Amino acid sequence: MQIEDFKRWHWILIALVIGGLMGFCWNLTPPDEKADGRGTSALEFVGNLTRQKTSQGYTWVRQTLVYPPEERVDPTTGKTGFANYVVCSMLTPLPDGKYKYMVKHFTADVPFKVGNIQPKSDQYSIRDYLKETKEAFPEVVDYRYAWWSAPRMQYILWMGAALLLIGGLWPTLVNLMIGAGLGGHKHEKKDEYDLDRFGKSKEPAKSATPVKAGLGNADLHKLRGLQDHLADNVSGMELTGGVATSVATSSAPGTVKALGGSSEPLKPVAPTEPEEPKEYMGEYYPVVKPHHVEETKKH
């Protein structure tokens, strides 16, 4: 099976498989390996989040991105819990005395309890904290939730992208290349004799009218008339030696007139003598054997 023989549904199936595998592999990758930057602490992040802007009007923390919570093991206690992976751009001083925004990341446990922050429930996360802080300081708090990083959304996004590219655009591109002569030619479809295309008759076929045995009165009458007519034609004829002659003409001898203009009758032809019987002999070829008449010797 060559590439030009693939149908669109083949490419759709391939796209779904590839998209599912990519989503599975992406979910196996931890968030800290998907982003770059330097590590920081949750305490430093909270201290700089509500800090007053610089003299030039820059905030200390911006472009905060909170990933969905994932299960993790606490390295200090060994307990299993959930935590949010957070990435942000933090204004960081450089050795030359200048400041620069640098990408930093940290892990925020659930419930989120840092410094003097008291969680309101066991499900209280840094996302809840940022929401409350933004209501109090809308000018300095800037964050987003990475909804696309959820496991279910990863499958949907990867499979949707693969379906669009591999199942939608790629077959069209292949057909264009084949039409331009860059690939093999498509095999022409042969007309297959499909019996299903003949619709079934709604009304059953009418059976042939049965033939009645015997003859009707009209047929018998015609048959008798034909027999009477033949009997009248044959009544004056008799068969003699294989030749049909009239009874009236055979009873009285008559004369045969000549075909010419002469009115004189023709004389009857005298009968010829019977031919001498012959015998044939010979083993391979027939030869006439002569009959010798024995003559009485006269003395």
DSSP 117: -
Q: Answer yes or no: do 114 and 50 share one domain.
A: yes
* Domain contains 44: yes
Kindly report the average pLDDT of the chain as a whole number: 76
How large a percentage of the chain has pLDDT more than 70? 64
Instruction: Kindly state whether residue 259 falls inside one of the protein's structural domains.
Output: no
In a domain, 204, yes or no: no
> For residue 215, is it within any domain?
no
Q: Is the pLDDT of residue 130 over 50?
A: yes
Same domain, 171 and 134: no
More confident call, 232 vs 299:
232
Shared domain for 79 and 169, answered yes or no, is: no
Which domain, by its residues, includes 174? 3-27+154-179
Both ends of the chain: CA-CA distance in Å?
Answer: 121
What is the pLDDT averaged over residues 3-13? 81
Do 162 and 118 share a structural domain? no
> Is 36 part of any domain?
yes
Least confident of 42-56, 75-89, 121-135, 246-260: 246-260
The identity of residue 74, as a single letter, is D
Give yes or no: residues 85 and 139 share one domain: yes
- Contact (CB, 8 A) for 127 and 145: yes
Residues 119 and 168 both lie in one domain: no
Pick the last residue of a domain from 101, 125, 148: 148
Q: Do 35 and 18 belong to one domain? A: no
Same domain, 118 and 174: no
> Are 65 and 142 members of one domain?
yes
Query: What is the per-residue pLDDT for 241?
Result: 47
Question: Does residue 295 surpass a pLDDT of 70?
Answer: no
**Predicted confidence band at 249 (pLDDT cuts at 50, 70, 90)?**
very low
CA distances from 22 to 75, 85, 166 (A): 30, 21, 14
Angle 203-209-211 (CA atoms, 0-180°, nearest 5)? 160
Report CA dihedral (245, 248, 249, 254) to the nearest 10 degrees: 170
Least confident of 64-73, 89-98, 242-251: 242-251
Tell me: do 20 and 114 sit in the same domain: no
Whether residue 111 has a cis bond before it, omega within 30° of 0: yes
Distance (Å) of CA 239 to CA 230, 248, 253? 16, 13, 17
Domain membership of residue 41 (yes or no) is yes
- Check residue 246 and give its pLDDT: 44
Claim to verify: residue 9 and residue 43 sit in the same structural domain: no
The domain boundary residue, chosen from 125, 148, 171: 148
Confidence check: pLDDT of 175 > 70: yes
Boundary residue ending a domain (131, 148, 165): 148
In this predicted structure, the answer to whether residue 214 has a pLDDT above a threshold of 90 is no
Query: In sequence order, which residues have a C-beta less than 8 Å from that of residue 104 and are 6 or more positions away?
Result: 37, 38, 39, 40, 45, 87, 88, 89, 90, 92
User: How high is the pLDDT of residue 24?
Assistant: 87
- Interatomic CA distance for residues 269 and 141, integer angstroms: 153
Residue 127: pLDDT band by 50, 70, 90 thresholds?
Answer: very high
CA distance 144 to 86: 10
Residue 202 lies in a domain: no
Q: Is residue 268 part of a domain?
A: no
pLDDT at 282 exceeding the cut of 80: no
Spatial CA neighbour of 49 closest among 101, 88, 18, 107: 88
Number of domains present in the structure of the chain = 2
Residue 248: predicted pLDDT: 43
Is residue 174 located within the same domain as residue 97? no
The tokens 């009165």 sit on which residue?
A: 217
